[in-house]
Amino acid sequence: MEVVLQSSPFFRGVEYLAIFCCGMAGGLAAIRKGYDVFTIIITAWLTALGGGIIRDVLLGAVPPVGISDRVSVLTALLAGCTVAIIHPEVDRLKWSMLTIDALALGLFAVNGASKGLLYNTSGMTAVFLGTFTAMGGGMIRDILLNEVPMVIRDRHWYIMPAVIGSMLTVPVWRWRARGMISERVAMALDVAIVIVVVLLRLGSVRFDWQLPRAVPR
């Protein structure tokens, strides 16, 4: 579906939206710590594209998209600049940011898993790549700012929706590769997967769904 996702202007647009939103979320974290504009922009860029960089390094697709695709990079840098100016507004958008972040989670999971499959990895490897793409940026951001990464800290579902999204992407991609479904159906299914991820993530925050801890004794 990489091809499908990439070739469709709609999906390209949504992907850049995800990068932009991720970048804003990253920049905001740097702003809250009082860092300067340059650090804000770098943090925005790493948050938006770090996951894809990890994915590409693990796949051997170098140099990674995150430092070579002009539009992606400019989108991420623009997000950093934007948030440096309109941060009070962004800060107030708690639910919007959460939704946008969840959207990015889903899009990156589908995108990462598909790119893995395109490079002929096994389904399992593709699931890992999708998960890494979805979580990587936030992980790098939090490590840089010296916090326990949110993917670990967050009591709500964060990694799990990404894993589920990546898993669901594998059969869709295979059906399409074998010609069992048309491009249009594959695209619709990919959209559905993204929606599932978003709903799982938002539902978890809204209704305080939590995974069990280690068996207490």
Q: Is 57 in the site for a copy of itself (CB under 8 A)?
A: yes
Closer residue to a copy of itself in complex, CB, 72/194: 72
Phi and psi at residue 60, to the nearest 5°: 75, 20
- Judge whether 33 and 9 are in contact, CB under 8 Å: no
Query: 3-class SS at 51?
Result: helix
Q: Which of 73, 118, 191, 199 binds a copy of itself (CB under 8 A)?
A: 73
Distance of CA 11 to the CA centre of its chain: 14
Inter-axis angle of helices 183-206 and 159-177, nearest 10: 170
Q: Which of 118, 159, 181, 196 binds a copy of itself (CB under 8 A)?
A: 159
Of the candidates 161, 159, 162, 184, the residue with the CA atom closest to the CA atom of residue 172: 184
Closer residue to a copy of itself in complex, CB, 139/202: 139
**DSSP structure class, residue 141:** H
Q: Is 155 in the site for a copy of itself (CB under 8 A)?
A: yes
Cis peptide before 63 (omega within 30 of 0): yes
**Spatial separation of the C-alpha atoms in residues 105 and 139, rounded to whole Å:** 13
Closer residue to a copy of itself in complex, CB, 12/155: 155
Q: Is 38 in the site for a copy of itself (CB under 8 A)?
A: yes
Closer residue to a copy of itself in complex, CB, 56/190: 56
Q: Which residue has the tokens 């869709």?
A: 172
Least Å distance, CB 27 to a copy of itself, is: 8
Count of residues near a copy of itself by CB under 8 A: 56
Structure-block tokens of residue 6: 């990439």
Q: Annotate each residue in 74-103 with x if it binds a copy of itself (CB under 8 A) or - if it does not, as one string.
A: ---------xxx-xx---------------
Interacting residues with a copy of itself (CB under 8 A): 30-31, 34-40, 42-43, 53, 57-60, 62-64, 67-68, 70, 73, 83-85, 87-88, 116, 121-122, 124-125, 128-129, 139, 143-149, 151-152, 155, 157, 159-160, 210-215, 217
